[in-house]
Amino acid sequence: MIKVQGITKKFKDFMAVDNVSFQVNEGDVLGLLGENGAGKTTILRMLATMLRPTSGTAEINGYDLLKQPDKVRGETGILFGGEVGVYDRLTARENIRYFAELNNMKKEKVDKRIDEISVMLGMSEYIDKRVGKFSRGMKQKVSIARSIVHNPNIMLFDEPTSGLDVTSSRIIHNFIRSCRDEGKIIIFSSHTMSEVEELCDRILIIHKGKVAAMGTTAELKSHFNNENLEDVFMELVGDKNEL
């Protein structure tokens, strides 16, 4: 379980995240929606221990975010959109192995785990090739593999399909579904309404760092008396904000 309690992040005079609270249970996918700069990425970075909250905290599978950050990191995997950040001069296996070692995996278990993942993601033909000449979709598979090599119970996806074509996006969608089927906890941010409706059990709408609304797609549509999620979103954040 993830239980976020009044988490806040302030950068000098700018309040990026303002007293946000929510809970996500095992096997649930929570979607984060918000305009650019709403605080979605900041929330995910705090949960991943990449940023320290100004105030508030979170309990992640029984571990306190502030008091036990090492334990929290062992429970989480994070996948970003945009540039995937793989090391071009290394092979796919070497990229994944590096992150396995960062997560303190025993060396004798790493290659076996990498082989399992490469089969699961259809990477066996190029797992030992350098990634410099890989397609964007192939690199994203490497990025997925390194994020799950330590078999985390919690996955944080920050706009993972940003800039991807349909085929590569489908890889991400199928991966998210497989994580949910395994009972993992998933928080997923996106700018694509159809993607959120398709993948997420509940939706948290963030506006200017604050919680604007939260519920299932059906609950949000019913509450705002609107069958179009995008229209619900625009009613909450205002027409002048762009996705």
pLDDT for res 68: 96
pLDDT for res 239: 54
The answer to whether residue 125 sits within a structural domain is yes
Q: Note the Cα 65 to chain centre separation in Å.
A: 17
Domain holding 9, by residue range, is 2-237
Q: pTM here?
A: 0.88
The answer to whether residue 242 sits within a structural domain is no
pLDDT for res 49: 95
The answer to whether residue 22 sits within a structural domain is yes
The answer to whether residue 213 sits within a structural domain is yes
The answer to whether residue 24 sits within a structural domain is yes
The answer to whether residue 243 sits within a structural domain is no
Q: CB neighbours of 234 closer than 8 A, spacing ≥ 6?
A: none
pLDDT for res 57: 95
Residues in the chain where the model's pLDDT stays below 70 = 82-84, 239-243
Work out how many domains the chain is built from and give that number: 1
The answer to whether residue 199 sits within a structural domain is yes
Q: CB neighbours of 52 closer than 8 A, spacing ≥ 6?
A: 46, 66
Residue 136's CATH number: 3.40.50.300
Query: What are the counts of helices (DSSP H) followed by strands (DSSP E) for the chain?
Result: 9, 10
pLDDT for res 241: 42
pLDDT for res 96: 96
